[in-house]
Amino acid sequence: MHDDRVLPLFGSGLPLSRPLKGLYRDQTFPDHGRAGPWIYANFVQTLDGRISLIDELSGVEGVAASIADPRDWRLFQELASHADVLLSSGRYLRDLQAGTAQDILPLGGSPDFLDLHASRRDKGLPPQPDVLVISASLNFTVPQLLLNQGRTIHILTTADADAALQRQRESEGAIVHRLDAGQRVGGKAIARTIGELGYQRAYCATGPWVFHTLVADRVLDTLFLTTRHRLVAGNGGSFVAGPALEPPVDLALETLFLDLSSTVGQFYARYRVREGAASRSGST
């Protein structure tokens, strides 16, 4: 039988192990960041840097069973329980429509997450975070389930986005915001709009291209990273994708926990993005 606990290795101030459940739920997080709102992200990766694999038969890229982990998924949900708004992407909604996405955007409705819904109620937060989709193409369908949950769906797109697709997305219930000219929405415009909409905590629940945008434009504040002690090889992606970051973006380790329960073994790390100059960006 495995011990359902995690051991603090750095920065937590706790000398003894503690249960995994509540590790992030019970923390007090900032309500503002360097660009206005506090913007944070979470990924799970293997030791060889994979967050996803490309299926050899279908050619579809997704989170493989060898990478996904229910204990990390629990922490993903705990982090979502603090959010005012979740950042997503057109690609994620296309995957959701195709049935290849990992899950509908949290918070999950299973009994395992009832405590997180209670935590939001205790904080005076709505049952679910709103959703902000970043997309230049607008080539997706707005999931009605999100609207049925009482969530506001914002779409951030470019000034050059297709007007007919904008009207279609609005007819499906979303609010569309045209921001930067060109092919991509920049990180600074994303952060500014999040703040203007009145959100204080924005959780990046999207992929490596939008994450690159947030990092490159220096609006990301915090990265939570689970590292499974496993090698998977194969063709797959890293949690950041895009042009080389010039200058590189440095992070400072704030906390590190070792999972004592997982048969594979994994670390849970929290990093603060250090102050520094901005570099060029890209997104989906």
Residue 234 covered by a domain? yes
What are the C-alpha distances in Å from 59 to residues 53, 88, 236?
A: 9, 23, 11
Give every CB contact of residue 225 below 8 A, 6+ residues apart in sequence: 42, 43, 44, 45, 239, 267, 268, 269, 270, 271
Residue 281 covered by a domain? no
Residue 279 covered by a domain? no
Q: Give percent of the chain above pLDDT 90.
A: 66
Residue 282 covered by a domain? no
Residue 284 covered by a domain? no
Write the DSSP symbol of residue 232.
Answer: -
Judge whether residue 12 has pLDDT over 90.
no
Mean pLDDT in residue range 69-76: 93
Proportion of the chain in helix, strand, coil states, percent, rounded to 5 = 25, 25, 50
Write down the pLDDT at residue 282.
Answer: 44
Judge whether residue 224 has pLDDT over 50.
yes
Residue 280 covered by a domain? no
Residue-wise pLDDT for 185-216, tens only, equals: 999 999 999 999 999 999 998 888 999 999 99
In this structure, the number of other CB atoms found within 10 A of the CB of residue 135 comes to 26
Write down the pLDDT at residue 276.
Answer: 66
Cα angle 140, 146, 152 (rounded to 5 degrees) comes to: 95
Sheet with 175-178, strands from edge to edge, namely 18-19, 5-10, 251-259, 266-273, 222-228, 38-46, 201-204, 85-89, 130-134, 153-157, 175-178
In this structure, the number of other CB atoms found within 10 A of the CB of residue 149 comes to 17
Range of 13's domain?
5-273
Write down the pLDDT at residue 100.
Answer: 62
Confirm if 71 and 259 have CB atoms less than 8 A apart: yes
**Mean pLDDT in the chain?**
89
Given pLDDT bands bounded at 50, 70 and 90, which one contains residue 47?
very high
Given pLDDT bands bounded at 50, 70 and 90, which one contains residue 2?
very low
Residue 70 covered by a domain? yes
Confirm if 95 and 134 have CB atoms less than 8 A apart: no
Confirm if 209 and 189 have CB atoms less than 8 A apart: no
Greatest CA separation for the chain: 58
Judge whether residue 1 has pLDDT over 60.
no
Q: Distance (Å, rounded) from C-alpha 61 to C-alpha 68?
A: 13
In this prediction the pTM is: 0.91
Can you give the CATH number for the domain in which 26 is found? 3.40.430.10
In the three-class reduction of DSSP (H, G, I as helix; E, B as strand; rest coil), residue 227 is classed as strand
Residue 41 covered by a domain? yes
Judge whether residue 103 has pLDDT over 80.
no
Residue-wise pLDDT for 56-72, tens only, equals: 777 766 777 788 889 99
User: First and final CA of the chain: distance in angstroms?
Assistant: 44
Judge whether residue 13 has pLDDT over 80.
no
Looking at the 3D structure of the chain, how many domains does it have?
Answer: 1
